[in-house]
Structure formats: structure tokens, C-alpha cells
Amino acid sequence: MIRSLSDMKEDGDTFETSDQWFVTVHVGRKGSSLTVPHVVKIALKPDFVTLETTKGHRYSVIDEEVYAVAQEPSERDPKGRRAGFA
């Protein structure tokens, strides 16, 4: 799923966005959900995923519970594309 996003730099099992994009990760578990916006780094680990945001916040989530990723342009993107699923 992550490899389908535009301009993702891959280094082993770590993915980073370019300066023009942010990623939003949607996670769900038994009736509750978590949305993590402005993700710039995604690290895949055995059984979980670590997400790092533009503010330096880190989240660890169970890999099987990530159900969607969305890609939106960063504020530095001059094209002004609208946010949405890629």
C-alpha cells in the first residue's frame, strides 16, 4: 500500500515522503479508530508500524489494523492540489 504513493523514498523497511507530500494513516480496532495526519516517515517493524509526523510525534500501531493511507500536498507544494486518497 505504501509503495503505491507518489515520491516515497524507500530505505529498507523505512519510507519517507518528499517535501511536497504528507501522508495520513488511518488505523482501526474493534469500533475505535485513529487518524494520524502529516506523517513524513513510516517504519515497518515485525507486527507493528511506527509513524512520525512533521511535529516529531511518533505513533506505533499494529500493522494489521492500518486500513488506509491518504496522500495530500504539503503547504510547500505550489500546485495547490486538494487533499484526498491517492
Is it the case that residue 86 has pLDDT exceeding 50? Answer: no
- The correct answer on CATH 2.60.40 for the domain covering 2-73 is no
Residue bearing the bigger pLDDT, 53 or 3? 53
Tell me the pLDDT tens digit for each residue of 4-41: 777 888 899 999 998 888 899 999 988 889 999 999 99
Domain positions in the chain are 2-73
Is it the case that residue 2 has pLDDT exceeding 90? Answer: no
Tell me the pLDDT tens digit for each residue of 46-67: 999 999 999 999 999 999 999 9
Task: For residue 15, give the 3-state DSSP assignment.
Answer: strand
Quote the CA–CA distance of 29 and 66 in Å, as a whole number. 9
Q: Mention every residue, 6+ apart, whose C-beta is less than 8 A from residue 72.
A: 21, 22, 23, 24, 81, 82, 83, 84
Characterize the bridge pairing of strands 8-11 and 14-17.
Answer: antiparallel
